[in-house]
Amino acid sequence: MKISVIYHSETGNTKKVAEIISQGAKLDETVDVKLMSVDDIDEAFVEGSDAVIFGCPTHRGMFSWQMNKWLGRTRLKLAGKIGSVFVTEGYIGGGAETAEMGLIGHMLVTGMLVYSAGTSAGQPFTHYGAVAVKDGDEAQKERARIFGERIARKALELFGREK
């Protein structure tokens, strides 16, 4: 099974959170997780992935224009894949939920299967996706790791280990 984690990071904070999510998604040796910047996408890996997790910082209460540009221009086949999101923000109230909903809108338009686990998996809740202030405090980092794990488990449940 393959999982792509695609991120844009302005200061390095989002990349750090993406790395934590990737570690959580790497359940065992049968799960291949690849971390990619929007500036360096392995298109074949993404198209072969069962799940794609998108992450970026907030900017003026929305998600970054760099991620928006990539999402608007990509021609990759994303339909039918699990799609999940995470964002980083400079401070509490920096637009995380609005940014996540914008990213989710892109996923719906492309036909992705939006998943976050929400409240169904218990604590910690991830209503729309994972959120961290800057690169996250310890609780936010643990939530990011668990978020990655939950997405991988859902992908296994829906798609199995082999295509």
Relative to beta strand 51-59, strand 62-63 is antiparallel
How many separate domains does the chain show? 1
Indicate which CATH number applies to the domain containing 132.
3.40.50.360
Cα 139 to Cα 19, 61, 80, 131, 146, distances in angstroms:
16, 23, 32, 11, 11
Task: Provide the residue range defining the domain that includes 123.
Answer: 2-159
Task: Give per-residue burial for 38-53: e unless 16+ CB within 10 Å, then b.
Answer: beebeeeebeebbbbb
pLDDT tens for the 163 residues of the chain, in order = 999 999 999 999 999 999 999 999 999 999 999 999 999 999 999 999 999 999 999 999 999 999 999 999 999 999 999 999 999 999 999 999 999 999 999 999 999 999 999 999 999 999 999 999 999 999 999 999 999 999 999 999 999 876 5
Contacts of 117-125 with CB under 8 Å at 24 or more apart are 117/147, 117/150, 117/151, 117/154, 121/150
Q: Which amino acid is at 28?
A: D
